[in-house]
Amino acid sequence: MSRIHPNGTAEPSSSRRRRAASASGSAAAARCCAGTSSSTTVAAAAAAYTVWMRSSMGFQGTDGVSAYDAAGELAFRVDNYSRRPKLLAGELLLMDGRGLPLLSLRPQIISMHDQWNCYRSASPEDECQGKSARSSQRLFSVRKCSALLQSSREAEVFFCTTTAADRSASDHGGPSFWVEGCFLRRSCKIRRGSDGEEVARIARKKAGAGDDNKAGASTLLGEDVFSLVVQPGVDSVTIMAIVVVLDRICRRPYTPLMCSS
């Protein structure tokens, strides 16, 4: 089964087995989620990912999320995905390309805003010491905005362990991040709550529109494949977790089939 690359080509089976996501990059991202900073980690350019709403597991019946970086390597994955109602959905585990846990996403059962909470996952060292994989340290929450507000915001993100910028937004009663646009149409932006600056963008994926394509022909891929661009200095792990939650809270309304007469 072929894979979808950011450059629009299919991934060969040999590359499929290379789950070489950077361990140092994942660790730095995890530290950023916890509110700590690394002065030695400097992003030089925006990070581009292709997100495929399918599990990276190749056998039949699996469901999940797979995100590939610009080099075509598996960067993030969710294999224990569930589209069941929130009462039965349980926990979703966001992992890096090698399967190491990064964050756990849990629905808040009693919530008027279809809220999901993000927690830190236990590291392999913690598990070796007998610590539980279900951490109680909540990092942030994602809430769906009410349609009655007639706002362009689709969801809002509220951090618990915050940076100075996040605390500034929270002091004014606002979210740390908010989502503008329509996720179901794969056309939305994630903006920082303190200044409204765009930190990530989601758009429909086009294949065959590279610079070497002089004819300019391109093919618009299905809605289960889309591009995600994360701006420099923004934690990709946090953004990816928001994307996974958006797919759970922004469900398509039921549309009955119309029979022609």
Residues 48-90: tens digit of each pLDDT: 999 998 887 755 555 789 999 999 999 999 987 766 666 666 7
Confidence at residue 35, expressed as pLDDT on a 0 to 100 scale: 42
Q: Which residue has the tokens 């069941």?
A: 84
C-alpha–C-alpha distance, residues 99 and 103, integer Å: 12
Confidence at residue 118, expressed as pLDDT on a 0 to 100 scale: 95
Strands (E), 111-243: 116-121, 134-144, 153-159, 177-182, 187-192, 198-204, 206-207, 219-220, 225-230
Alpha carbon of residue 199 to chain centroid:
13
For the whole model, what pTM was predicted? 0.72
9 in a structural domain: no
C-alpha–C-alpha distance, residues 170 and 70, integer Å: 34
- For residue 143 the two structure tokens come to 């809430």
For the chain, how many structural domains are there in total? 1
Alpha carbon of residue 55 to chain centroid:
14
Confidence at residue 134, expressed as pLDDT on a 0 to 100 scale: 58
Q: For residue 133, is pLDDT > 80?
A: no
Q: 139-190 pLDDT, tens per residue?
A: 999 999 876 666 789 999 999 865 555 555 555 568 999 999 999 999 999 9
Q: Is 233 left (phi over 0), alpha (psi -120 to 50) or beta?
A: left
Q: Which residue has the higher pLDDT, 186 or 128?
A: 186
DSSP 3-state of 242: helix
Q: What range defines the domain where residue 234 resides?
A: 47-250
C-alpha–C-alpha distance, residues 7 and 257, integer Å: 36
124 in a structural domain: yes
Domain at 147, CATH number: 2.40.160.200
For the beta carbon of residue 182, count every other beta carbon within 10 angstroms.
13
75 in a structural domain: yes
Confidence at residue 70, expressed as pLDDT on a 0 to 100 scale: 94
Residue 117, φ and ψ in degrees, nearest 5: -110, 140
List the single range of 15-29, 145-159, 177-191, 231-245 with lowest mean pLDDT. Answer: 15-29
102 in a structural domain: yes
- For residue 98 the two structure tokens come to 């090698």
11 in a structural domain: no
172 in a structural domain: yes
C-alpha–C-alpha distance, residues 98 and 77, integer Å: 9
C-alpha–C-alpha distance, residues 186 and 103, integer Å: 23
8 in a structural domain: no
Confidence at residue 172, expressed as pLDDT on a 0 to 100 scale: 58
Q: Which residue has the higher pLDDT, 92 or 131?
A: 92
Which of the four pLDDT bands, split at 50, 70 and 90, describes residue 218? Answer: confident
Q: For residue 25, is pLDDT > 50?
A: no
Between the two ends of the chain, the Cα-to-Cα distance in Å is: 40
> Mean of the pLDDT values across residues 13-42?
41
Element (H, E) at 246: helix 236-249
Q: Are 214 and 198 in contact (CB under 8 A)?
A: no
Provide the mean pLDDT of the chain.
74
28 in a structural domain: no
